[in-house]
Structure 1
Amino acid sequence: MAATAEHLKFDTARTGATSQVILLIAPSESTAKGIESYLRNAGHPIRCAWVTDMEDVENALRAGTPDLLICAETVAGVALKDVLELGRRLMPDLPVVVLTSHATPEDTVAALAAGASDLVSDEDLRHLRHLELVVLRELGKHRHLRELRSTRQRLAAFESRHQQLVAGTKDAVAHIQEGILAEVNPAFAQLLGYDNPADLSALPLMDLIAEDFQPKVKEHLKLLRRGKNDNKPLECCLIARDGRRVAINARVSESIVDGEHQIEMLIRAESPAADTAVTTTTVAAPAHGRLAYFDALAAAIAAAGQHKDKRAAVLVAVDDFAGTEERLGLHDAVQAVDQCLEWLQARIGPHDQLFRFSTNEIACILVRPTMPEIVEFGEAIIRDIGKQIFNTAGHEAQLSLTVAAYPFTGSEQAAVLTAELVRDARKLSAKGGNQFANVGPSAKSSLDEVEDARKAALVKKALMDNRLKLAYQSIASLEGDTRQHFDVLVRIVDENGAELHASEFIRAAEKHNLVGAIDRWVTARALKVQSKREGAQDASSLFIKLSEDTLKDAESFVAWFAEQVKGRPLKPGELVFELRELVVQNHIRKARMLTKSLTELGAQIAVEHFGIGSNSAQMLEHIPMQFIKFHQSFTANFNDKELHKKMVTLMEIAKGKRIRIIVSHVEDANVMARLWQMGVNFIQGYHVQEPEVVLLSADVR
């Protein structure tokens, strides 16, 4: 399997880049192997995924994996018109190329007329060279189309947001084309005494300019067109609807919109002094500085026991501030945080206090009647910040926040409390942020519990949306076995497309009783993979890890598995279920029943992490198994004489029972050579091969 054309991409850690993917619909795997081999030998990092029916084609297109689709004419039950229609519906930019054994001009014309991008053949080297050039052309075209579509979507989103900003800002904005007002916002209309901005559309700009200022305005616009006005502001008077003169100081700029020159006139709104007075009298001004925060927190902790209300220290961190600085510039990024502080200031209560803790962090001391109200405040901040747009000198910015609250009772020390609060808030923010958490001993839930709950929800959603994928690590034979053996690894793809390895979510899944569902998903997917590979040239064995939860629920799992294999009985060696030795040791009766039942249904059994239990030799006598996989400590301490002696003893017992031996975590060529001399059957580890994302016909994503 490791060498088949079904691999779509390798981990970027090993190759440094992601291969482009060709989805090939063909009756034989050898066709995919031949094309992939030719293209890769020609220096192109391209992988071919072989599929045989429309179901797999639809799954692949829905997942958006392929960069090119090649459809052979000879696939039973697959019509070119159906493939083209499916492509137009699910991936309209995806090029489709027809593969034929004998290409003629008439065939090419027919394929192009049907909607295909071209017709190719793999008959000989001359045709393969033509196929290579067509593939490169279509992959390049597809990449450009995707970039164009993405750019258009971003542009549309930007234009929509810009229009919303212009409509909602207090600054007066007018767009002028060829001397005519093309568009004005409500603030501009209000400035001149108009209720409806549409009343100003299509009016000549000069009709709104006071007569004595018209020559000055014309000269300013002329210099602007020539690029010689040096960004000087335009000072003049406009004529309002009631005839009064309105003095303005406008920034005038020029741009190209839909191929037409457009002038934008921006008149900044002035903040009325009265508004400032109201703000300062109704909301306490923020005290700037960390020292002021510590003094206020110490006083609040000392007074906490004298009141019935609930109090908490809160840290609000701007997520990915380094990225914000890169996008906006150093000055504008700080301006955005300043405006965020003002936004928070307007949301806190009369007894709350606000402090600038650091460049991108704001500290609060909150006082609320109940703890749920503190939680509600934090969650509302996270929810509402996404709706805010902060206008800096040169940008409009949106921010993402992480909010951590540390409720206190009066016995805490300000420095210790703050250290834990800051550590947990920054940890949350570094993991993506945009969330609220209670921290500290008196919090409703600890940071770890919050994180586990978040990951459990992610796992549950991924199971519902079928957003899991399989990866495989090669188990290499030291005896020349032609069957390919792989450890099956599971990964979750989150809603942003990022992959999470099992180590990142399995603990949360175990705590929230989801690991059994993962076991069944992996087993069902592995069965589908093997059924899809019936036409493959190389037989394979997939090793599937079963959890303790599944072992405890052995009867139910066996009944479920029996239903899964009823329609297609397993072929010898296709599936090998792995159980950890210590788990088996703790549930020996269940393990005997499970392993016996799975063996009767055609599966094989492996015991992994072997050799560290108290009764390893006895387990070889009582549990039916075909493989043992030694615990990694045997490899890590390979030169330890006592451990090596124990390994040799267990190997001799296993070999007497015709149990094959796997040694994992092999990182050294000398160790590998000595294992071969000892008679080990299989090895795996990074010295052999790193885990691959191997997406087979049933796993195309």
Structure 2
Amino acid sequence: MRTQSILNLLVINDDQLYAEQLVQLLSAYYDSVNLGFLDDKEELLRLLRQPWDVLVFGSAYDMNFTEVVGIVQEQSIDLPMICLFHDEAAATAQNDDGLPAIVSGTMVKALKAEQEMAVVMAICLQHDNLRSRRELKTLRHVISEAEQRANVLIKNSKSAVAYIDQGIHIFANDPYLQLFGFKTMNDAIGVPVVDLISGGDSVKGFKQFLRQFDKGNRQEVEFEFESKRTDGSTFEAKLQLASATLDGEPVTQVIIQQNTNNSAEVAKRLAEAERKDKLTGIDNRHGFEKQMALVYEQARQGLLTAGLLYIQLDNVGKIKSSLGLQGVDATVKQVAYMLDELIEDGHVSRFSDTVFTVLVEDKSASELKDLAQHIVTRISEMFIEVDKRTTSTTVSIGIVKIEKNAAAPNVLLERAIDAINQIMIETSNHGGTYHLYDPSEHANSDDHALAESLVDAITNNRFDLSFQPIYDINEDRSDFFEVYLRLPLADADNTVLTPDQFMAVAKTHNLLEKIDRWVLINACKKINEVRKTHPEARLLVQLTGASLVDKKLPNVASQLIKAVGGAAGVLTLQFNEKDILDYLTVAKTQFSALTQVSCQLGINNFGSSAKSIELASFVQPDMVRLARSYIQDINSADNLNTVKSLIVRTSEVHADVLMPYIEDAATMSVAWSVGARYLQGYYLEAPSATIKVS
């Protein structure tokens, strides 16, 4: 009996009858087929907000298949695509055997539109492949989420918990370390668990117990024994085992309970007392820091977003002068009670004498501002009674967002304080308002803020690309373009950063691969437009070491090359010579894999090491781009002979040479004579935001 199945089919075509015919044929294989039909780009962007299983492309009013591939990839949607053609387009759609030129688990390019059953079979197979990927992704996500939750709970648990692998400690939480006298987790890692068991009989019994557990016996999961601390002292304990995972790998979880009466309850009460503020009854700074650590960790894992409100009383000096410390204490208590009343779904703490903090989850920037304004208004309207006298106060609020790529908690606190200082500057120390810290306004002076600006640029396409033509002496044309990346900042000076100013921060925050991918996709979209009128146009893209070791790069490059026409040489990926030397074996494999998908390869900063020729011979690039040092003072006889010699030796390993940095007429006149195939520089043409083929 067939289980109920539904297909969400998106068809881009100008013939709706054809789409309806596909639906009719597919009804033999599905209980329900939901059809989305369109033929223009605006409608596609709208419909991609909905979930689809397969996309079939025939023809559209203002798009081609390449653009559709780019749009889907840019939005990171796992959506199988099938391209259709009519007889007049067969030359580029099929191979010499009359079969589709591309057949993979995510793309079929292309099938004859008239062969409807072949199209139906392709849809069913692509959908089945997609369901398998989705199920695998769901299972991995469930396992990852469970492991994340377990790890958060264990790290914050008062129980002594450790993970062991083959009887060896690989992780332990703080209560476990304290129980056995380890100073840090590094002291516990690698220590056999049997070293913590006192007495030979107990050790022997535990080994047998552990062997039975590893064999799958779950009848006995508890073991009572006399445990031994690192200082030699002992205590009676009970050990419990459970299967678990750590970083996706199977491990054994160990929970140890010390046999003492009421110790857990006493510890719990002490911990609660430790985090409470005596004057107000709300959490103190210690309580805030614990909650902040928990919220921060969940935000970093992408489980939530949060906001920190740093709330400072404004007129404390005036209150103290007129009402003394009693007036200050009364004001602090009344403000604490008001905050506790206003913040229903959040965490309120007394951070210091006259400063409060509030942590709230899943609020946008505008919602945080509205909340801050509400707090400012309500507190300014309060009348505070102090021994038959009345006073009032106002507050200033610094707001900081806590997101997946947020800086460390101490940096976030510093930003909140910076926001308060900004209020004091803008209000001449009167306060009574709020200020939201915007990392993009500080990216030029704060590495953490710069990292957040990079994430924003990747997510919201805020990078700029420029393109500089390269003159090909052999072909006598300039339709080969190198891509350059820039990051505009939202500051008062309209600053624009170059990669040398932000790539170090990007590397620290593991953003290099994402930036490379953004450049690749968006540069290919640009060259695809140009190739409609200039089909020989080509692209040179510089990538970082992160992409050099990325096993997914050949597949990404293959799809992009196919999307922009599939011609060999349309895309050249360039890597720095130092990165290739650092990952030599990996680079050889990566170059070979990229070559197999018709991607050309280049080496940037070539000649900067003593083994440049040997390197080129080993990885076999299509071209090399000379280091700047070779171009400087090239008019001198020694330097000129050095460049000529390097180019001759490079040609012997079958690599073309690009001579860059041609900035004046003198360098240009020499460049013709050295034997390089490609010339590039501001003297020829400066980079431009648009691709101009001359």
TM-score after normalising by structure 1: 0.38
TM-score after normalising by structure 2: 0.38
RCO higher in structure (CA 8 A, sep ≥6): 1
